[in-house]
Structure formats: C-alpha cells, structure tokens
Amino acid sequence: MALFPDADSSLLVIGFVLILCLKFAHAYYERSKLKHIPTLGADGVFTSYLTAFRWITKATDIIEEGYRLYPGGIYKIPTIDGWQVVVNGRDMVDDIRKATDRDLSNLDATDDILQVKYTMHPHLSDNPYHIDVVRTPLTRNIGICYGDMLDEVQTVISEKIPPSEDWVEIHAHDVVLQIVVRAVNRFFVGLPLCREPEWCELNIKFTMNVVINSLIINLFPKFMQPVVGRIFTARKSSLKTALKYLKPIIEERLMMQERYGKDWTDKPNDYIQWCMDAEQNAPLSQRTSIEDLTVRVLAVNFAAVHTTSAFTYALFNLAAHPEIVDPLRKEVEHVLEREGWSKVGMVQMKLLDSFLKESERMNGVGATGLPRKVLKDFTFSNGTTVPAGSSIVAAVWAIQRDDKLYPNGNEFNPYRFFDKRSQEGEAIKHQLVTPTLEWVLFGQGKHACPGRFFASAELKT
C-alpha cells in the first residue's frame, strides 16, 4: 500500500505549508524592523492576520480609525502581502512631497504593487519615458486633438445610451467602460482602431488582469514571484493581440519616417507617434522596437481606463442629487455659447469642475494613496524614522473627509470648490487638476499624475 494515497495532494499541502512558514518568517522580520512604529490592530506574527483579513473588506474603516488614533502621526498595519506604514495629515504628506527619489520611490512602489515586470512587461520600467510623453506632448495636444475626442464621445454615447422617450436601464459601469475606452483611444490610436471591438475589449481585460494578477503574485514570497508571475498572468497573450493591430501601423510609420524624415508633412498626431518621436530617450535596444511601443500603448490605456470609476461615480451623484442638474446644464450652455466645444471651454466650466472634484473627494479615492518605497532610511518631520525596504502610503480616504480641511466632510456639496474658487486669489488652487497638501487624489510634487489634465477634459466632455 502506498504511503501517500494521493502524492500530488500531499505535495500541494507541503508546498502550501512551506509558503505560509516563509510568509510568517518574513512578517516577523519586517515587524522587528518596524517595532518602534505603533501598530493598528493585532501585532503578533499570527494574530496580525486577523487585521490583514479585515483590511480586505474594511480598509476605509481601518484608515479612519488610524486617523483618529494617530492624528498627524504615523502607524503600521498588517496586510496579506506585508506591513504597510501609513501617515496622516498635511505635514506628513508634505514630507513625502519633498522627499527625493533616492529616498522615497514612487516608481518602485508602483512596480511592487502592480508587479509590472510580470503583469505588463519585464522592461517597461527600465526607462518609463512614456510618462514624459503623457506629461508633455499628450498634454500639449489636448486642445489640438480635442475635436476628435469630442466626436468620439458623442458617437459612442449615442450608441451605448441611445435617445429614448422613456427611461432606459443601463449597467453603468459596463457602459462607462466602453465609453471611456473609445474616447481615450480616439486620442491614443485614432480611427478606425479606436472603434474595433476586439481592441477595446483587449484594453479593458488588460486593465482588469493587471490588477487581479498583481494581487495574486503579491501573496507569494519574493523568490517565488518570478515563477508565479509567469503562470498567473495573461501578459503575453495580451501583447500578441495588441501586436496584431499595432504592428502594421507602426511598421508603416517607421517606413514613412525613414523615407521622409523631417519632411513628413502629414505625420499622424497621436500617442503612438509621440512615443515614436520620444524614442531617443529609450535604450538603444528598445529604439524602433514594435513590441516596446505596443507595450507603452497598453500601459497608457491601463492608466486611462481608471477614469471609469470617476465617470461612474459622477453619474451616480447626478442621480442622487438631481437639483444640481439644471445649474450644471446652464453653465455648460453659457460657456458653449461663448467658447464652443474646446479645451478652453472645459476649463471655464467651474461648477462642473467643482461637482466632479467633490464626487471624487467622496467616492473616487481608495483607502490609501501616495505609495512610496523607502530606498534609504527616511526620517519624517515628527522624528519617526522608517527603515529602508518599507512601504509607505498616506491615509487618503480620511484626509479627503477631514472636517478640519473640508467642513462637513461626509456630506456631498457640489458647490464646495466652486465657492472656494470665487474667493480672491483662490481660482487656481481649488481646481480638480491642482494638487495641494489637502487634495492628494492626483499625487504630489513631480510625481503628480501626468495625465490629470487629459482626464479632466475627458470627464467634462
């Protein structure tokens, strides 16, 4: 008789137990490094998992509790994939804003959270010049290309939410996904590709896969992540599908670029071309790499699809506060009469800007934000030192609802920022796209979201 009736099952159990032991050992080591920082919830190597599992479904409750217990301070919480150091208040946010990339790294934190090398591409973060493409040529071209995005928004909304004499029920999130992907890809890749159903579906699935797969990978010890990352991701199949559409486009443009050089008079004006023009910033091995350019198109779609939540919450808040609909329509009509459909017109819609910002303040942020990885021991202004290798986040959910910063912070007030902008010298400070120590949705300092101006124009349209 066999010693193990089911050898495969036994190996799985042994492997699972080994992984748990390694996770516990790592948790114990990390806890010892952070013992001088107070813990929210259970602190033991085993009991801390009670808080970690609570974090999965009650993250905002935990953050609000920490905000009350440690005002303007710092604490740590256990999560399934490790200890998280959380900071509260303006001063601590300012410390993060002023820190250098040699001390606190936003890019390294993002890579760890999203497991970019496995979920997107192994070399995407080696030289993320596409971020500068979004920050500069994409932002500069919002006004020039605005008419194309407007046309796509009008077209896709008329298709997905057709005019009717009666009420029509829609699944808001699913419909909004289709609208957002079509609108942003009109800007990124142009016609006719932005209307190709398989292309749109690819970018939606790619975004979802990155989030889900990164969560799975982060459950495993670091030494196992390269193996798990190859098993639990759809990166290669996504890239294969994307190449089917982008390879002919990029090859043709490379040919035209070689033939005409600077004399290429009708050169396309879209994200693909801006990346091609910026390739001098890429390593030699990546220049004119069709795969590299394709991955950067997928990456910018991943970022853009996240405006879906902002759009969805805006629709829900319109439904919940119908009294704001007429004032918003009057403002839009008044501005359009004066400026027409344009980037300038979008900027002048101050009540719409206030409504969207308030909608985001109340609903559009996660429990935490401003992720940073500590590369060198970092001391905050309150004297607390966080050791290298730690992960830091800010208590964004609680900051955005702080009654001292936002009176009656748990109440939805669409005029909140409109009224503030009406005060002398406050017109710029309270815009949706302006980061402040109180408004951290779009990040801080030089790491503020490079696509926030595009996102604002898109949402308003």
Annotated binding site for heme: 449
Binding residues: 449
Q: What are the phi and psi torsion angles at 379 (to 5°)?
A: -105, 125
Please state, in angstroms and rounded to a whole number, the distance separating the CA atoms of residues 77 and 79: 6
Apex 311 CA angle, 309 and 313, nearest 5: 65
DSSP state of 87: E
Dig out the tokens for 209 from the structure.
């896969």
413 vs 321: CA distance, rounded Å = 10
Spatial distance between the Cα atoms of 367 and 381, rounded to a whole number of angstroms:
23
Residue from 153, 210, 238 nearest 187 by CA? 153
Helices first, then strands: H and E counts in the chain: 21, 7
Q: Within 10 Å of residue 268's Cβ, how many Cβ atoms? A: 16
Quickly list DSSP for 366-411: -S-EEEEEESS-EE-TTS-EE-TT-EEEE-HHHHTT-TTTSSSTTS
Q: Which residues contact 324 (CB under 8 A, 6 or more apart)?
A: 318, 355, 414
CB-based burial label for 229 (10 Å; 0-12, 13-18, 19+): buried
Return the structure tokens found at 405. 């910063």
- For residue 269, the one-letter residue type is N
CB 459 within 8 A of CB 451: no
Residue 301 exposed, middle or buried by CB count within 10 Å (0-12, 13-18, 19+) = buried
Instruction: Please check whether residue 444 is in contact with residue 435, taking contact to mean a CB–CB distance below 8 angstroms.
Output: yes
